[in-house]
A and B are shown apart, each in its own frame.
Chain A
């Protein structure tokens, strides 16, 4: 369980928090985006701290990056004799360089009074964690040799698994503790990124390589009019291109459809017999279903009353489904006072059919989005996706002679005498809305 959290939960938390946090900080807190250099306050020790640290760690991270993003290239490089040796040597040397630099930086941060004035708790946490992380990395590299080789088959697929939403921690659970800690540390840094000065990693000024030496910004509309006109022109051009691409695309798709039909027409009906018979069978089934539906529809158009069931068959818990006049499902229950309860079974939320079995609270549930309806009133529970009650349906109890004994129009109380022993001979019908029962 703890493994699950550390190797799958933590990475996702870290990535999500970092993504949202970095976005928010870059978008809403631009002012806080700075490396907060302290060279101004102290520059002699900084030279021996900052330069080796940054250069060392960048080379090491470059190695990690190539192995991660281009595992095949990395493996290909390593297959060259001596390459592993050279790469590992460079890696360890740079890591040690970084470690030495970081040591100097920590020493400087702890001893210089001026630097103390600009040191936050988060800064100390970051440098301490960095030191631990690099140390763990170096120790792993030394204890478990040729990490550059074995990592492509273990850590790289693990991280890719995380990123492609197919997390598989089987790759990493077997790792030695030293390396596990290094891995967890890496996720921690991603997590910390937006909340600390580590954020300056994302402020690398690549645009400086390409931009013009002078930047001039105009504020007045007078001058901007040209700019606005130019933008509008570019915009309209863009819009035109977008439209043209859309039309061309649609025409293309249409052409493909038409030509495939044309080709089929020319080629004639091909295919094997089996597929064709299966297709015919499906067609037939569909026709049968349609015919049945039409039958029901006709029945409802011609008759003012439709038989649901006999009175005896009605059950207080297990409702009986039927099809109502709107060709939608309905449910009939035996009420507590021996009066039938007849209501629509079409959920008022999105039209699913509600279940027919009452739960302990005397409610039926719609399985689609979990609304509970009270069958006596039809009302959904509070907070349910459905807001409107299930509508009541008019019904009539008819005895063997065809005489209506009791009937009910929705919203009114039942008409007629309710005598259970007499009713036992009766059958339940639903009545056509708006037609008086005869």
Chain B
């Protein structure tokens, strides 16, 4: 058993209002640089929708993630070791600028310097790459709130799981539904980007599992961009290096949650330590699609088990990390309550970012276009769910609707129970029956309610005091030991004006 600690993340989608504050916080901290304008290490997508980059989930096109041969072999879909050398010259799996969008700004100066005339001066859009005037055709959240759009939402690849009838129902005028999906790097436990990097520049930090790119070792071969199925590695066209979300590790190391976490208006984000058995990776990902979620859960270890604690200590995991793992909201959501699910686990990268699927759009469906929110039947049943379970299963459980349904049932039970507690508009037996059916107890419901609705900052972010004081820095220069700090503001070359 090779016990490792991982800083793991929960996004509670029921609470996400799609305000993009997280994206902006990240942009201001990390990607406000030449060459990085188009990058959104954190972005928020509307689902159903095509996302950013457009149709990133289409692995037939981008070939990201792992391919399992059904037996014992797990290999990167985008390349083999041999043909990766040919792909240095031209990588057929790499998205190009048009798959994201051409970054732009406006010529605001023209508003002040335009000659006096009859017309109002305008600030025309110009490309941040060429500096030429351009027509804006897309942006990072171009399909924001555009559920039902034949251009965007209908091209959502997850809708393939639905029947035509379900699709039509989903996009019915005035009754369409949608939810938001904030995405950052998943800091996968079995990352394809690390495996795909020819230069060996990408690595996982042993202590907390953060995946980082050593900018000095990166040679700009772009294999990671193709290998990452979530398209969360971005190529900086100006420096010729790839970049990705660093989970704000400098903030983590000083005890602050990452910028996107800290700024989250809906407080949807949780961060905690998970202990997992590195020996079970990648074998845990060599199971059929439907079993993947459960298989990933099996790789996690119980932080309260004395044997596991002993093994963790032996493996160099600090007491602080072990304590954090015991109080981890991530462990509660993923393992105790089994409410949080990974995004697209069928890519087999073992993402360490988990989502609590949204209940609200599911509850919104009603007959004859009217919402029947009467006291008797305040919540509709899952069978009437407007957002089809199949769609959510396609996103969060590799098509296994049973898992999503279990989560939904529990989420709903929490609501029934809490409503009953204060309004008492139902029969007590009926409420307890719902709890039983959802496989939960009043105590657990209280806990879930506590953690979902009214958690404090320090309940949401249970981060160990990171190894600052005991990190290698005390024995050698951080530049030498870490190697990979930060990003240069200076481009590696001077482009012609």
Chain A residues near B (Cβ < 8 Å): 30-43, 46-47, 50-51, 53-55, 113-114, 116-122, 197, 200, 203-205, 207-209, 211, 213-226
Contacts and interface: CB of A to CB of B under 8 A. Distances in A.
Interface residues of B, number: 63
A119 B81 contact: no
A205 B316 contact: no
Interface of B: 81-82, 84-86, 88-92, 94, 96-97, 129-132, 190-191, 194-195, 197-200, 202-207, 215-222, 235, 237-241, 282, 315-316, 318, 467, 470-472, 474-475, 481-482, 488, 492-496
A62 B84 CA distance: 19
B203 A216 contact: yes
Given A40-B97, A118-B237, A208 B90 contact: no
A204 B96 CA distance: 23
Contacts of B90: 39, 43, 46-47, 50-51
Contacts of A207: 200
A9 to B, nearest CB: 30
B96 A36 contact: no
Contact of A35 (B219, B472, B475): B219
A208 B227 CA distance: 14
B465 to A, nearest CB: 12
28 contacts: A31-B492, A32-B492, A33-B219, A34-B219, A34-B492, A37-B220, A37-B222, A38-B237, A39-B90, A39-B94, A41-B97, A43-B94, A47-B92, A51-B90, A117-B131, A118-B237, A120-B494, A122-B493, A203-B199, A205-B88, A205-B200, A211-B200, A216-B205, A220-B318, A220-B470, A224-B472, A225-B316, A226-B316
A43 B97 CA distance: 9
Given A50-B90, A119-B495, A214-B195, A34 B218 contact: yes
A211 B200 CA distance: 8
A53 to B, nearest CB: 8
For A46, A120, A215, which residue has the most chain B Cβ atoms within 10 angstroms? A215
Given A37-B220, A214-B194, A217-B206, A116 B130 contact: yes
Contact of A222 (B88, B194, B198, B318): B318
Given A37-B240, A205-B219, A54 B472 contact: no
A217 B198 contact: no
A32 B471 CA distance: 28
Given A209-B81, A219-B482, A39 B222 contact: yes
A211 B467 CA distance: 28
A42 B102 CA distance: 12
Given A39-B91, A51-B90, A114-B97, A213 B198 contact: no
Contacts of B496: 116, 119-121
B204 A205 contact: no
Chain B binding surface, main DSSP class: loop
A323 to B, nearest CB: 62
A222 B488 contact: no
A422 to B, nearest CB: 81
Contacts of B218: 34
B418 to A, nearest CB: 43
Given A205-B85, A221-B470, 4 more contacts: A40-B97, A46-B90, A208-B81, A220-B207
A219 B206 CA distance: 7
B389 to A, nearest CB: 34
A220 B97 contact: no
Contact of A50 (B89, B195, B219, B318): B89
Contact of B220 (A34, A53, A219, A226): A34
A40 B222 contact: yes
Contact of B96 (A42, A116, A118): A42
A51 B89 contact: yes
B321 to A, nearest CB: 10
Contacts of B206: 216-220, 223
Contacts of B202: 215
Contacts of A53: 89
A26 to B, nearest CB: 10
B228 to A, nearest CB: 14
Given A219-B467, A219-B481, A40 B203 contact: no
A32 B131 CA distance: 24
